[in-house]
Amino acid sequence: MKKMDSTTRLERLREAVGNGDVDRRSFLSLLGAAGVTAGLSGGIMAGLARQAHAAGTDLYFEGWGGVVSEALRKYAFDPYEKATGNKVVDSTFGGEKEVLTKIKAAGNTSGHNILHSSGVDWYKRWTDNGYGVKLDMAKIPNFANVMDSIVEPFRKITPDYLSAVPYDYGTTGIAYNTKHISKEDAEAQGANILLNPKYKGKIGGWGGDWANRAWFGALQSGQDPNNIQDWDAVWAKVREMRALVLKYWGSGAELMDLLAKEEIWVTEAWSGRVAALQAQGHPIGYFDPKNGLAWMESMFVLKGSPMDEAEELLNFMLAPETALAVAAGQKYPSSLDPTKVKMPDSVTSLPAFDPTGKLDALTFRDPVKWNAVEKEESKMWNRVKKGA
């Protein structure tokens, strides 16, 4: 077999990247090796490098859809693509369990790079399953502006590294139609407003997460959701609510649609989605009941992702001008520390915003306790949902 000379090797590399057979990162690596072997520099190497960078790298992002995805696309992904030549291919998931199931079935993470992951419990689940990475924080200098209080729960799970950067936070409280329910009446009832037979057929709830249903069942049965002693009482309350519910919604977009059309008058709801409805002029009130659920979301990078590009995107997203524009657009406060970064009124006025940066007033789910009971208790929600 005739041995290829350096020019032939380089031309074949050029052809491969032009056909899309080699991604940018692999091409640059091969190009470097070819250059060293051939002892080349200057014109041909520079030209090929420019071609490789122009080809860009695709990053696959999965998120929650609706106003959240719209804000990320407008204020983060589009500017990032213009600045780098890389492409962010974003899609909507119905929940992270759906993504985890697909990855396990495929046996790899191909087509899955970054998740808008919900909560520390999911961070633990992804890392426990071996899908985490070790981010090089030196390549994400904007991480220095992130609140210590929002990072600490993640570091408790992976003390020696992070697989994600916390990006935003919010609460799951009670939304109600002010044309039919007064502020005083709603707040006096607390979480039990979802059990009021007066509103039968006008009540909604999130059906996509067993732990969310159990959290409100704990509140309604007078228990600390992070220290549940009587699970039978929890599910009894969930059954009681089910008899009154018009519909369990499956996404933030569906939640907003049901409230906007007044098909439901009261439901637990995500704070940012309610803020978006209020901004549109809908008569929707919102409050967090005592021990209402707070959560923090992260940008989780999955094993097998192109790390240089992923870290570059995370750093871009944490830049104050990007992060605060996304926060105002999606209606959830940024993970940036308000004592380090000046916050605009569009962010300080958001539900759940904490001007101290300490998040002491919010109650988060304990991932150790909740993940430990998931296998058994999630079955209960599946039975109750079907009417058992």
Indicate if 231 and 267 belong to the same structural domain. Answer: yes
Note whether residue 33 is domain-resident.
Answer: yes
Query: Which of 33-42, 105-114, 219-228 has the weakest average pLDDT?
Result: 33-42
CA distance 122 to 134: 17
Indicate if 165 and 304 belong to the same structural domain. Answer: yes
Indicate if 118 and 133 belong to the same structural domain. Answer: yes
Among 338, 319, 296, 328, smallest CA distance to 151 is for 296
Note whether residue 68 is domain-resident.
Answer: yes
Which pLDDT tens digit goes with each residue over 6-55?
Answer: 444 444 544 554 444 444 444 444 444 444 334 444 444 444 444 444 55
CA distance 11 to 34: 11
Which pLDDT tens digit goes with each residue over 260-309?
Answer: 999 999 999 999 999 999 999 999 999 999 999 999 999 999 999 999 99
Calculate mean pLDDT across residues 331-345: 97
pLDDT-based confidence at 344, cuts 50/70/90? very high
What CATH number should be reported for the domain holding residue 177? Answer: 3.40.190.10
Q: Quick one: pLDDT at residue 12? A: 53
Indicate if 228 and 283 belong to the same structural domain. Answer: yes
Alpha-carbon Rg of the chain, whole angstroms? 24
Q: Please tell me the total count of domains within the chain.
A: 3
Indicate if 379 and 263 belong to the same structural domain. Answer: yes
Note whether residue 317 is domain-resident.
Answer: yes
Note whether residue 224 is domain-resident.
Answer: yes
Indicate if 330 and 351 belong to the same structural domain. Answer: yes
For residue 296, the cross-strand partners are 169
Note whether residue 39 is domain-resident.
Answer: yes
Note whether residue 10 is domain-resident.
Answer: yes
Backbone phi and psi for residue 245, each to the nearest 5 degrees, phi listed first: -75, 135
What phi-psi label fits residue 52: left (phi over 0), alpha (psi between -120 and 50 degrees) or beta?
Answer: alpha
Overall size of the chain counted in residues: 388
Indicate if 81 and 225 belong to the same structural domain. Answer: no
The average confidence (pLDDT) of the chain is 89
CA distance 171 to 365: 11
Calculate mean pLDDT across residues 233-249: 97
CA distance 236 to 68: 34
CA distance 216 to 192: 9
Q: Quick one: pLDDT at residue 191? A: 97
Instruction: State the residue range of the domain holding 17.
Output: 6-55
Note whether residue 347 is domain-resident.
Answer: yes
Indicate if 122 and 214 belong to the same structural domain. Answer: no
Note whether residue 1 is domain-resident.
Answer: no
Taking the alpha carbons at both ends of the chain, their separation in whole angstroms is: 71
Indicate if 99 and 164 belong to the same structural domain. Answer: yes
Indicate if 99 and 88 belong to the same structural domain. Answer: yes
Indicate if 211 and 198 belong to the same structural domain. Answer: yes
pLDDT-based confidence at 119, cuts 50/70/90? confident
Indicate if 162 and 261 belong to the same structural domain. Answer: no
pLDDT-based confidence at 56, cuts 50/70/90? confident
